Amino acid sequence: MNPRTGAIKLNHPDLEADEIEHSCSLDVADRGPHTHAQVGRLLNLTRAGAQKIERLSLQKLHTNARLEERTP
């Protein structure tokens, strides 16, 4: 979802919700480690797109951890 516009991006617009094999990141995680290319294929993204999402997510986790350390 785009936080500015509220638009929702459909990664698989040609499929109905019940036709999507992996609809939850936990489903994918349960299968073990994946390359960026594999994750990209699952999410209908490029390998670089999957890497970008990972990098931004790790940055947010790092920032949140630092904020929690400062909270009394």
* DSSP-assigned letter for residue 11: S
pTM to 2 decimal places:
0.58
Closest CA to 57 of 17, 31, 32, 29: 29
Closest CA to 51 of 40, 61, 62: 40
Closest CA to 28 of 39, 16, 40, 37: 39
72 residues of the chain, pLDDT tens digit each: 667 777 766 666 777 767 766 656 677 778 889 899 998 888 788 999 999 989 999 999 999 888 888 876
Give strand ranges (E) for 9-62: none
